[in-house]
Structure 1
Amino acid sequence: MASFPVDILTEIFLRISARPLVRFRCVCKSWNSLLTSPFFIKAYLERSTKFHKFNLLKYDSDNFSRVQIHKPPNNEMSDLDTSFIRDGEKFKLVDSCNGITCFSTFDRKIRHNSKIFLWNPSTGENVALPQPSYHVSNLVGFGFNPLSGHLDDFTVVNMNIYFEQHPNYTSQVEVYSFRRNCWKQLGNIFPPSLTQHLGNQVIFENFICWCPCFRPGHEKITLLILFDVVQDAFHKIALPDMMPLGEKLISLLDGCLSVIAHNLSTEYYEVWIMKEFGVCESWTKLYTIGVSTRSIVSYRPVGFVDSGKVFFVDTFYVGLRFKSPSHLALYNVRSEKFETFKVAVDCYYTTQLVTCLDSLISLSSTNNVKH
């Protein structure tokens, strides 16, 4: 195969998963040159957006964090090695972009033990980020600058909130650039009068997007909060008045921002989509998921597997207390039924789902990959 024309080799390699391609670099100099070239890395990532997507499921089980790959349509699950994180330490799956995934750990007792990692699950390559000026908080965001021309122009946002007298607080926001390998302090720019419970995040273009969590006894949340990684600035997007005020999960659906909102009146979940980014009037309700929380089983959404399936965590009540363990359950929107899928998890709040791509982007050096 070493004598094959480059265009034929390229077409063959584009159809092979990332991990063996890393080994193929050692075959000969010409293969290494092709497989590490900016052209091939970009072409491989573009093909992955169509053919090599998979889901990463992070959950705690028996007080231990683990990550598994979920591959539809057969609901196959396989473990991933996260031993680069300190053995036995719990972690948060922040998000994934261009095949690179961000994790964070948060130690309330010894703050300097908290860390942030970037990881390519396709190749196993990982790196621990340098410590920020302020300790790693439990509010960490992960984003990407699509305007820079580099496929590895990742940004990590570390947000420390200091309460002086509730609800007043000050903040220290820092951003890390993967390409510059350094932190930059932005100061007290976290939006005022905003809950510190940001919930999950999604990456949309150059924005990190959150839908702040509703907490009983607190003011209802009626907006999205965004961080622009190009301008290093926060923004807000209003939610429509017709959207339920209950707890919400932000997601991406058919290339648009979407929200799964809990209707406190019906106890069902509503799926809303923002058809035109930044335009409040473009919010549209797509459908209602008829999963009630009024019975002895409580269902809470984790995220979309695709446009037709949603992961939930189901929890059985015993009196006023939860019965442990809870389970991951896969709901089919079209059939309006749960599919056979049971994975025990400790609780809903530590269960996360992100979509990832097979990728050859390296974390050991800057690839200078151009769009």
Structure 2
Amino acid sequence: MATLSSDIIPEILRRLGVKDLLRFRCVSKPWCSLIDGPDFIKLHLSHSLKTSTHLSLVLRDCYLFSVEFDSLKAAQKLNHPLSNEGFGTDILGSCNGLLALYNGEEEIALWNPSTRKSQMLPVTEIEFPPYFCFVQFIVYGLGHDLISDDYKLVRMAQFYGKDDDSFCSEVKVYSLRTNSWRRIKDFPFYLKYKRVYGVLANNALHWVVSKKPESDTQSFVVAFDLGTEEYRVVELPECLEEGFHMNVKSMGGSLCLIANYWEVHVVDIWVMKEYGVKESWAKLVSVKRSKVTSRFDFVLPLAISKNGDRVLLDIDNNKFVWYDLRSKKVKKVRIEGVPRAFEAEMLVESLVPLNGNGAMINKKDQGKEKQKKKNTKRYRLWKRLRKPGNRRRVAVLLSCEW
């Protein structure tokens, strides 16, 4: 051990997985200080992202599952810090090994599955604007601000207006560094899809939007810059044909555009090779229904293989296939223990700490708070809101409570 140079040790350790690194903290105090240090944490994360190592698929149905990307053999159930019997847990965003989780009971936590560290977020109320009584939907996005070296969770609430073409929004940003929420400039666009969190690429979160709900149905992509906290429109490829359903996704840190031509059963996947440069859009995949399966509704790109010749695709949130970029052929991927229906997201192992000023989750205290909340009128209304058909009616009551 004494023959190893102090410069060589970090180069060796950065290639290891988080599980091994946590064990090696016990080797010595210098090793523990090195592994826990911010410089090594960034070095390890950067190496994993550049080499596409220590990656896993996180699958969500009512539970959360993890699948090692290198093997894609079996899904392992994850014991995460937020539990909610009957409703499951939503993933609100992912970034650098962190997941933002929501359990349907107004509780949000940041969680690092690799280190098993978690932190509860403080509750922030929705500020209803005048004459807007209904929350149409709420979307989130998690990202890392490189300028301030801070992790931010963005929450956008969109409200119903007086007529079909009027809407309003409220945007708040949570800072892990300060463990607090603050309101920022309203989002001036109409969010097209609910239950879709912001797609993270190049230090920005992206959503598919339109200018108005009804009169203007043309879709485009808007980015929220995590550093400047400003909104900007992302230019799309000029050669797109008309009549497609638009979606966005991130793959390997690059922004992807999914154009789903339902009438002809074709899905084109574009990748922006140089972020912000319109001319850098390139068509990566074009999938026809007959080549994948007899029927599919949508296709989402997840990851590129290490040698760069195949793309892992999610088909209808119930199956995976490898798409060969050379032969244009597909091969089904069979993973043991995968739920019948799921939402899939790529995650990298990391040592990123959750060291804000907020309290760590204490299960005993958490149980007391849950019991206290269940005795409130607001909680009972929230449970009714979860049931189909009650949303609009209960939303009015909840707006009064808020």
Assess, with a 3 A threshold, how the Cα gap between structure 1 residues 287 and 295 changes in structure 2: closer, same or farther: closer
Q: In 2 relative to 1, CA 196–258 (structure 1 residues): closer, same or farther, beyond 3 Å?
A: closer
Report which of the two has the higher share of strand. Answer: 1
Greater helix proportion: 2
TM-score w.r.t. the length of structure 2 is 0.73
Shift of 1:4: 5.1
From 82, 105, 119, give the equivalent of 1:127: 119
Aligned partners of 2:293 and 2:73: how far apart in 1? 30
Q: Which residue in the other structure is 2:350 paired with?
A: 359
Would the aligned equivalents of 1:69 and 1:80 in 2 still touch at CA under 8 Å?
Answer: no
Q: Which residue of 1 aligns with 2:199?
A: 202
Displacement of 1:269 in angstroms is: 0.6
Measured in 2, the distance between the counterparts of 1:255 and 1:140 equals: 18
Contact in 2 for aligned 1:291/1:299 (Cα 8 Å) = no
Report what 1:312 is aligned to.
314
Shift in Å, 1:146? 1.6
CA 1:132/1:6 → structure 2, altered by over 3 Å: closer, same or farther?
A: same
1:65, 1:91 within 8 Å by CA — same for their partners in 2?
yes
Question: Secondary structure at the residue paired with 2:194?
Answer: coil
1:323-342 to structure 2, matched below 5 A, reads 327-334=318-325, 335=327, 336-341=329-334
In 1, distance between residues paired with 2:34 and 2:293?
58
1:301–1:53 CA distance, 2 compared to 1 (3 A): farther
Q: How many residues align?
A: 336
What is the aligned partner in structure 2 of residue 32 from structure 1?
A: 32
Provide Cα deviations, 1:232-290, integer angstroms capped at 9, x if missing partner: 22222243454254333322356532212111342111122234433445433344112
AA paired with 1:43? L
Q: CA deviation at 1:220?
A: 4.3
Match among 178, 181, 191 for residue 179 of structure 2: 181
Q: Indicate the residue corresponding to 1:322 in structure 2.
A: none
The answer to whether the 8 Å contact 2:139/2:196 transfers is: no
Identity of aligned residues (%): 25
- Worse overlay, 190-199 or 165-174: 190-199
Query: Contact 2:93–2:140 (CA<8 Å) still a contact in 1?
Result: no
Distance 1:294 1:123, change over 3 A: closer
Q: Match of 1:231, SS? A: coil
Report the Cα distance in structure 1 between the residues aligned to 2:279 and 2:229, rounded to whole angstroms.
Answer: 26
- Kept in 1, the 8 Å contact 2:251–2:303? The answer is no
Q: Distance in 1 between matches of 2:293 and 2:28?
A: 62
Distance in 2, Cα, partners of 1:192 & 1:47: 37
Q: Report what 2:225 is aligned to.
A: 228
- Once the two structures are overlaid, the 10-residue window that deviates more, 221-230 or 189-198, is 189-198
- For residue 270 of structure 1, give the secondary structure of its aligned residue in structure 2: strand
Task: Indicate how the Cα distance of structure 1 residues 276 and 294 shifts in structure 2: closer, same or farther if over 3 A, else same.
Answer: closer
How many angstroms apart in 2 are the aligned matches of 1:24 and 1:365?
25
1:86-235 paired onto structure 2 within 5 Å: 86-88=83-85, 89-105=87-103, 107=104, 113-134=105-126, 138-148=138-148, 150=149, 153-165=150-162, 166-186=164-184, 189-197=186-194, 199-212=196-209, 220-235=217-232
If the length of structure 1 is used for normalisation, what is the TM-score?
0.78
For 1:191 and 1:58, the matched residues in 2 are separated by 32
Specify whether residues 198 and 231 from structure 1 end up closer, same or farther in structure 2 by C-alpha distance, changes over 3 A only: farther
| Structure 2 Cα separation of the partners of residues 294 and 34 of structure 1 | 48
- The answer to whether the Cα contact below 8 Å between 1:299 and 1:312 also exists between their aligned partners in 2 is no
Instruction: Determine helix, strand or coil for the equivalent of 1:9.
Output: helix
Q: Distance in 2 between matches of 1:294 and 1:359?
A: 34
Cα 1:179–1:68, aligned 2, differ >3 Å: closer, same or farther? same
Distance 1:34-1:283 versus aligned 2 partners, 3 A rule: closer
Larger radius of gyration, structure 1 or 2? 2
Counterpart Cα distance in 2 of 1:217 and 1:103: 32
By how many angstroms is 1:156 displaced? Answer: 0.5
CA RMSD of aligned residues (A): 3.2
Could you tell me how far apart the structure 2 residues matched to 1:275 and 1:291 are? 26
Report deviation, 1:207: 0.8
Q: For residues 264 and 340 of structure 1, do their structure 2 counterparts lie closer, same or farther at Cα, with a shift above 3 Å needed? A: closer
Question: Are residue 52 (structure 1) and residue 45 (structure 2) matched?
Answer: no
Q: Residue type of the partner of 1:145?
A: D
Aligned partners of 2:262 and 2:356: how far apart in 1?
A: 49
Q: Contact (CA 8 Å) 2:165, 2:215: kept in 1 or not?
A: no
1:344 Cα deviation from its structure 2 partner: 5.4
Unaligned 5+ residue runs, structure 2?
Answer: 128-134, 358-402
